[in-house]
Amino acid sequence: MIENLVIVESPAKAKTIEKFLGKDFKVVSSFGHIRDLAKKNLGIDIKGGFIPDYEIPKDKIKVVNELRKAASEAKTVWIASDEDREGEAIAWHLVEVLNLDPQKTRRIVFHEITKSAIEEAIKSPRTVDMNLVNAQQARRILDRLVGFEISPVLWKKVQPALSAGRVQSVAVRLIVEREREIINFKPESSFKVTGIFNTSSEAAAGENSFKAEAVTKFHNEDEAVRFLEICREATFTVKNVTVKPGTRSPAPPFITSTLQQEAYRKLGFSVSQTMAIAQKLYEEGKITYMRTDSTNLSRMALAKIRDVIVNEYGEKYSKVRQYKTTSKGAQEAHEAIRPTYPEKATITGTQAEKRLYELIWKRTIASQMADAQIEKTIIAIEMNNSPVIFNAYGEVILFDGFLKVYSESQDIEGSEDEKAILPRVNTGMKLFYEKITAIEKYTSPPPRYTEASLVKKLEELGIGRPSTYAPIISTIQQRGYVARENRPGEKRKITVLDLTGGNITRAIKTEIFGKEKSKLFPKDIGMIVNDFLMENFSEIVDYNFTAEVEEQFDKIASGQLAWNKMLENFYGPFHKTVENTLEKRNKTTGTRILGIHPETGETISVKMGKYGPVVQAVHPEKSDKPRFASLQRNQLIETITLEEAVKLFSLPRSLGTYEGDEIIVGTGRFGPFVKYKNKFYSLKRNIDDPYLITLERAIEIIKEKDIADKQKIIKDFGEIKVLNGKYGAYINYKSENYRIPKGTSVNDLTEEECMKIIEKKQKSGK
DNA sequence: CAGTGAGCGAGCTTCCGCTTGACTT
């Protein structure tokens, strides 16, 4: 018999809490939700008044059985799931599934995981709050209705196996709309003028010199040249010097979304990588819970952090701060993400674990440190023959404060102005230019989303939760709506004008623009689905939809609105839209007619085909079968031109013969290739172009790969081969691979021994 | 690994949020 059974959501939390509670308490975990809507079918009896049909998922049966057993042996059951909507629902499901007496079951919440907080919680138990539970049920049912009614519409009208939902569809919309902004963006250029000035005309170049930029931009080269000619004749004097004291404050401690952003910016971790590493740190007791939207730090943590700062950096570096959570829809069931033991600045573990921990440690410590004191200086320089002013910006840190430990990164590279140390100058002082440069600058389109910046945007909109940011990102990629891709960038010419020693020189330089690394690009199917949803389900993909239903969930939680009434109001019009769309809409393929093939007279169009986007050529008079060609990886239905489409039909083509056999170049499922003697050779990405490749280059690729393949072969017994792979040697037989048992000397393997390994696996496998 | 795109029909796909392992390769 157990005196007290406490149920929490996470096993790591259970372990910690058990230590605080002593012998009379047994603490176990529910591993999150233990029941959900039926997996098959809708799982909701709509006519009966939106009655949910709950079932215990397969992977939860074991946990539930253990919980049932423990509960039946306990005198008192305490449910300590999180203090939010989902946590309350977990508590209610536990009461139902474990057959607990609602009046005798004690619902408690921990505001922080400390002995005193837990003891405090034990003193004030309550019963399960059914209003809050109903708000969760309404949320759950609404999401199921939206997802399971719209997705089948997509299967019928667009393509099988697609999906739509309150959260994922908005995420896709953000990426599609951003891409269209970029497609429609027209870069404009202007000339930015910067000068390097010096207080003396004789100083050696660089010594005591400083940079200043002209406040005015010049529209074109003529204007820029004219201005440099004026500069050539000008006398420059210091107009005034402004010195402004300023302060900078640290960023709040990490929550899930900010951790994902900073880990991406500073460490280059993907959202899912960050979460996996954080999970590990959490399980090892090194950090607090990693799925949180609260910037709150426990009182105990605040005190410990203060000690660390005072010991390490001194009293004047400490400033105790409590941050307010600003994000929309925050439910604040946990603390901020912080080191469990702030006195440990480093840990043992893998390189990635160490780096992520260090990032969390620095951010946490910095958040409790003093403001940095800065002195900003602006030197304004005037000209005797022009109204244009040059400004030099300088910054001196008088007291580093939190900057000693941590400074937050920006999303856009180079967005921070260059801040230099300026020489002492006085108003009226004469200045001499060393060099004045007018450089052509193009405006840039808005940036594409990274995984982390998408999470940031979703959080701003109040869409998704800390536990779902990473899964959302993988879902929209799995469905093929978006993809994380790189782009090599394009070259463009820019004009640079230099004025030195009275001479103006002009140079043309090239710059690379549009280079992208690991950015989210929409795919054709994402754009088609998005347009379809915008046209037919604009309410669901509206950026405010979540916020609006959240308001109603809040009303349900406070008892002002009945949950089934809310669902009825939503479902009535929604379901009508679903039926109308099913009835009226034709199948969407996103077809665009591009024009007429200049040589054959065929009509060229582009659309979403069965296996992906294709261009199609149909002759208006002849009744031949249409010709098809797949789009290339970086082409979109929306932007492909007639010229590019026509080019796609020129593959596959023959390059000629090599040692009597033909070499054919084409493009397939895995990109461009050459085919020789029935063997395929991939072209090198970003180096070879299937439309331009020469016979010589093709032969080179073939030879290279043949050599590489030969090195791969350790032993060749004909049908059986011993090959060298990424993870060491393995056996290949009839296009199946077999692992070589550990401790085998690979070089001494005989054909018979290989066959034994193969037979052994074939027997055990089936 | 690389070709595919006629048409029919059966049977399948799908949501969001809470939590960790259990599975191969």
- Taking only the tens place, the pLDDT of each residue in A252-291 is 999 999 999 999 999 999 999 999 999 999 999 999 999 9
Q: What is the pLDDT of residue A92?
A: 98
Question: Is residue A764 predicted with pLDDT exceeding 60?
Answer: no
Q: What is the pLDDT of residue A97?
A: 98
A72-CA/B16-C1' distance, Å = 32
Q: What are phi and psi of A170, to 5 degrees?
A: -75, -40
Q: What is the pLDDT of residue A735?
A: 66
Burial class (CB in 10 A: 0-12, 13-18, 19+), A385: exposed
Question: Is residue A651 predicted with pLDDT exceeding 90?
Answer: no
- Mean of the pLDDT values across residues A425-433? 95
Query: A652 preceded by cis ω (within 30°)?
Result: yes
Q: What is the pLDDT of residue A311?
A: 97
A712-CA/B2-C1' distance, Å = 21
Question: Is residue A729 predicted with pLDDT exceeding 80?
Answer: no
What residues of A are annotated to the active site?
Answer: 289
| pLDDT, tens digit (0-9, with 9 covering 90-100), for A66-107 | 999 999 999 999 999 999 999 999 999 999 999 999 999 999
A40-CA/B9-C1' distance, Å = 22
Task: Find the range with the poorest average confidence among A529-538, A585-594, A595-604, A713-722.
Answer: A713-722
Q: What is the pLDDT of residue A722?
A: 80
Give start and end residues of each alpha helix (H) in A500-544. Answer: 524-536, 538-541
Strand B closer than 7 A to residue A35 Cβ: no
Strand B closer than 7 A to residue A167 Cβ: yes
Token pair of A712 as six digits: 């791969």
Contact A295, A336 (CB under 8 A): yes
Strand B closer than 7 A to residue A159 Cβ: no
CA distance A367 to A362: 8
Strand B closer than 7 A to residue A163 Cβ: yes
Contact A296, A322 (CB under 8 A): yes
Which nucleotide is closest, CA of A163 to its C1'?
B14
Question: Is residue A743 predicted with pLDDT exceeding 80?
Answer: no
Terminal CA-CA length for chain A: 46
Strand B closer than 7 A to residue A466 Cβ: yes
| pLDDT, tens digit (0-9, with 9 covering 90-100), for A32-46 | 999 999 998 999 999
Residues 612-641 of A with CB under 7 A from strand B: 612, 614, 625, 628-630
Q: Which residue has the tokens 């299967």?
A: A155
Angstrom CA distances, A400 to A250, A370, A373, A515, stand at 11, 9, 6, 35
| pLDDT, tens digit (0-9, with 9 covering 90-100), for A663-688 | 999 888 777 889 998 888 888 877 88
| pLDDT, tens digit (0-9, with 9 covering 90-100), for A386-415 | 999 999 999 999 999 999 999 888 776 544
Q: What is the pLDDT of residue A766?
A: 40
Strand B positions closer than 7 A to protein CB: 1-6, 11-21, 25
Q: What is the pLDDT of residue A415?
A: 44
Q: What is the pLDDT of residue A419?
A: 65
Q: What is the pLDDT of residue A407?
A: 84
Which nucleotide is closest, CA of A466 to its C1'?
B17
Q: Which residue is nearest to nucleotide B15 (CA to C1')?
A: A147
Burial class (CB in 10 A: 0-12, 13-18, 19+), A473: buried
Residues 133-152 of A with CB under 7 A from strand B: 139-140, 143-144, 146-148, 151-152
Q: What is the pLDDT of residue A721?
A: 77
| pLDDT, tens digit (0-9, with 9 covering 90-100), for A535-585 | 999 999 999 999 999 999 999 999 999 999 999 999 999 999 999 999 988
Percent of chain A with pLDDT over 70: 97
Question: Is residue A302 predicted with pLDDT exceeding 50?
Answer: yes
Q: What is the pLDDT of residue A205?
A: 58
The band of A113, judged by pLDDT with boundaries at 50, 70 and 90, is confident
